[in-house]
Amino acid sequence: MRKLQSLFIGVIAIILLLTFPVVRLNHSSNASSQVLNIYNWGDYIDPELLKQFEKEYGYKVNYETFDSNEAMEAKIKQGGTAYDIAIPSEYMIQKMKKEHLLSSLDHTKIHGLKNIDPRFLDLDFDKENRYSIPYFWGTLGIVYNDKFVDGDKIKHWEDLWRPELKNNIMLIDGAREVMGLSLTTFGHSINSKDKKHLTQATKKLNALTPNVKAIVADEIKMYMANEESAVAVTFSGEAADMMAENEHLHYVIPPEGSNLWFDNIVIPKTSKNQEGAYDFINFMLKPEIAKQNAEYIGYSTPNKTALAMLPKNISGDKQFYPDDKTISHLEVYKNLGAKYLGIYNDLYLEFKMYRK
């Protein structure tokens, strides 16, 4: 009997040893499916919403940030981290589609797309929203401090060349943005591939150098809030942050034209948790979530239901929610291709070197 018991126990032990690795493997697989890897611009979502998403859906969010579309694209192409969500801008979405870096979206798994303003759907960079869902939108414009500058004299890009602004302008550090504002003063497209236009724009930028105090990135918000410069060229959301810190700051969209940009949510081709990615998209499409995020970030929400929930002093502010007439004069950046992107970058670098 004792021998029979020993044999029985031995058989059970062998079965347990054989099944344990399988159980462990399954557990490991389930654990990885509960991780959602998000790749986003810095400080571009309310951290409380990430906590709420984790609590409601049971995921562990790994959140990483990038500081340029190009850096984001390069890392996704490299494939070191299998990001489930990324938030590129419109021209980069075009580029990533061509490079087969994005998963096509299954719209049957997306709930809440009806909350998005139709003006921000089915745009040229992603027809039928086959690869992307709107996240935020905004403009490029001019911020000025009314303590130092008469607002009536800062309405157009051309006003940046005024002699009285010597050493008093800060520019956001971006080739497309700075080249684009100069192109616009001649009535040229911000997507121009005409080399005469580009040379003309660069020469005019060189004439702006006496007025340029600094070319900076995120720190432009702090500098303007602290009144270290009278004027800045920056994005609408950055302007909103500055204005919240200093009541003397104002934002202007030059009526002759500027950049209208869109940041959209995409699912990279390398995603290992597509179910989680769709959960995140649906979470962000909820009006109450989009409202909270818009209030935290300061950029313009494409979610029309969320917009109706925002305080009137936000939703009615034409600096950040311009009317259709203003929008009709704005342009979206197009993917210029490697050749012309290189030309823009080289000419912009020429301008920056000219300042020294």
**CB neighbour class for 29 (10 Å; exposed up to 12, middle 13-18, buried from 19):** exposed
For residues 153 and 155, give the distance between their C-alpha atoms in angstroms, rounded to a whole number: 6
For residues 42 and 10, give the distance between their C-alpha atoms in angstroms, rounded to a whole number: 57
Enter the tokens of residue 348.
């912009």
Nearest alpha-carbon partner for 83 in 75, 93, 95, 91: 75
Distance of CA 212 to the CA centre of its chain: 26
Burial 12-23 (b: 16+ CB within 10 A, else e): eeeeeeeeeeee
For residues 283 and 304, give the distance between their C-alpha atoms in angstroms, rounded to a whole number: 16
DSSP 43-100: T-S-HHHHHHHHHHH-PEEEEEEESSHHHHHHHHHHTSS--SEE--BHHHHHHHHHTT
Enter the tokens of residue 16.
């347990």
Q: For residue 91, say whether it is annotated as part of any ligand binding site.
A: yes
Query: Which residues are known binding-site members?
Result: 91
Binding residue ranges for spermidine: 91
